[in-house]
Structure 1
Amino acid sequence: MAETAPKPKRELPKSRQMVNEMTAKVYADAWEAKRRGEPVAWSTAIFPLEVPETFGINVLYPENNAAAVSAKHYGDGLIAHAEGALRYPINICSYARLNLGMADKLRDAAFDGADPLMPLPDLLFLANNSCTQLMKWYENLARDLDIPIFFVDCLYRYDEGELEPHRIAYGRGQIEKLIADLEVFLGKKFDWDRFLEVQKRAQINTKLFDECVALNSTKPSPMDGFDLFSYMAPQVICRGKEITTAIFEQWKAETLERIASGTTTFRGEEKYRVHWEGIACWPNLSYNLKTLSSYGINAVINGYVTAWSLHYEPGDLDGMARAYQTASTNSLSTQAIMDKRSKTIEDYACDGMLCHVNRSCKLMTFHIFVGREMIEEKNGVPVANFDGDQSDGRVFSEAQFETRLQAMTEIMAERKRTEGVK
């Protein structure tokens, strides 16, 4: 029997190639800085990076790195090392386990068992506005590596509405203290004019990012919704850089061109549009994508990408403090989160909602169990849950994922048939 020739890989759009080049340069610059004896930092994902960007510090992001390592299937060994030799329990965040395992392995300069590898840090940047487990994760890194933490405390607030003045003042004070402490640590003065330019650039990029994501509300969608996960990287790690502006402008131009020509990066016919709730299953991303495509399902939007939609007026330190204190799930109740999801489902004409019950991330998961009933009642669309994890592939079941998908597809198809939903 003749061998079937493998299908040629689809060429990535120019904007995606630019993302890959940008990411490679960020890592290369960090390694080069380390060789020169300059400080390299590791940072939590929703930290006010405008400050280290102004100081010219090379910063890498363990959460972003863990996602990339997991997607390339290098994470299992690092997670096993954390659970075995380092004795971390399975019920903590898999990003943390992977990163703590990597940090220990990196003590050996010859270690090359993951990609991409980060140089060990000289300092840590920590903000607790996305979850509190980050604090213990970074405390352990600081202890094991004997390096300082620069902490921005974002007061947790369950109530919606405008932040009270004392909370804004506290947040501003945290940013001012960060600047003062870094001046001492680095032995250099903070450039406030440069800071304003970085803030302006970050706001230009945030606006562009939001605009590009919103374009996927077009029906049919110009993008496979999983593309959004790839474009998160510039917004997370280079939000204050000009290269991110160039990437997002290219992304926007490509997307508008697809809308005009009626083309898309989604493979196959878009029969159903769903909201994906939660972080991606990075080790299982390819399987998720292929299975969704086989059912004609495009996960056109997800709640995860909106966590970096941080808006404030450049030069307004109070506004910046407000933006970071209210980021992610730090000031949202279940009701508020699901109100946002309900609006998104309506705006993006979603036929259903697919929820990733993420073993690692409780804050991105617990609202789902009550929230799914809110969506079913308010939007009248089916909601399906499946078990998974952002980095630990042991939790995910292909059989369960497809079974849940089949059931939801049947309901969506019946709804289209009986209710005339287009």
Structure 2
Amino acid sequence: MGARTSRRGLLRGGAGASLLALAACSGDDSATPGRRSSAPPTGSATPPPTTTAPSTPATPTTAAPSTSTGTAVRPRIADTVVDGIPVPWGIAFLPDGSALVGARDTGALYVVSQGRKKVVGHLDVRSRVDEGGETGLLGLALHPDFATNGLLYAYLSTDDDNRIVRMTYDGGLGRPEPILTGIATSTHHNGGGLVFGPDGMLYASTGDAENTASAPDKRSLNGKVLRLTDAGKPGRGNPFGNEVWTYGHRNVEGIRFDERGRLWASEFGDKGADELNLLRRGKDYGWPYVEGADGPGGYADPLAQWPVDECSPSGIAIAAGRAWLGALQGECVWSVVLDGPDRGRTRQHFAGDHGRLRSVALAPDGSLWVTTSNRDGRTTPRPGDDRILRVTL
């Protein structure tokens, strides 16, 4: 089996708590990587570049992190918001500061505030946790006009597909209405990120559903970041006249906008590199032909990348001039400086303290909510799992 490899030295984010890789495993949730081809399908993408980019030195991580303005950031876990939610995944903050939190495998939707949780509804989902899978209730997002229309969006898995649904929430759930169906599903690589952009469009990230040929195929919904209206139609100005915004992705679970309106995505690698990517309209991010940076080779390069046994990035939040990524296999949070002289510098936080860490969300009070994922079938749960941790910066 020919594995995709990076053409540039990996940017190592410091002395990681490197874990033994899962058997025959990629660095993400998946335990069964698909067959790799050294050449693209006919007519589907540009062949992989043959030039070799110069090696990039490892990213230093000994200095204390700082924002582009020089302000020190010292994250610490202040407390536990709640515990006892199995595999919390999507988080959407409500106007009153509480949050809706989805449980991936049960489809339960909780309303959560400090020290309190309450189930307010269930969505019918297909969980593959007994197969070591990644399907279920995934991303959540509130409509920009939620205060007046009460619309909640969810990315979820059924027996037949992954889909995006919308419903009202007013203390209880209205009937889910599918707005985009037919996103291929598989045991692994189901994507699931949702976020509304400053343009009012809904952005959704999908995985390749273990079919690598789908990622470079601009006609496929899989291996993409999609840009949709709030009714699920292709956004005006999309580069290919359909739902696709960017392509060539393996499995993107986390997408988030920063204060400048830039869209960032965390991406699971296979055997070469996990990635933090800045997403730009119509760009090809290289899967399955390039993993990590390829320099002048023609594919969009990540801002930061990690060996797959040190990261497996899922959720992402933007705060204090950094992206904050939950790392499942790395069992930590990684931060990446986004601008200034330290742009691309990575740092590891909370390594090994709480097990697998998945979602990261910026709360209205400026803290980060970080979820553990120890009941996802990949490790031995700890008493009280899973938890939502509150991190102050």
TM bucket, shorter chain: under 0.3
- When Rg is computed on C-alpha atoms for both structures, the one with the higher figure is 1
TM (normalized to structure 2)?
0.25
Pick the structure with more strand per residue.
2
The structure with the largest helix share of the pair is 1
What's the TM-score, normalizing by structure 1? 0.24
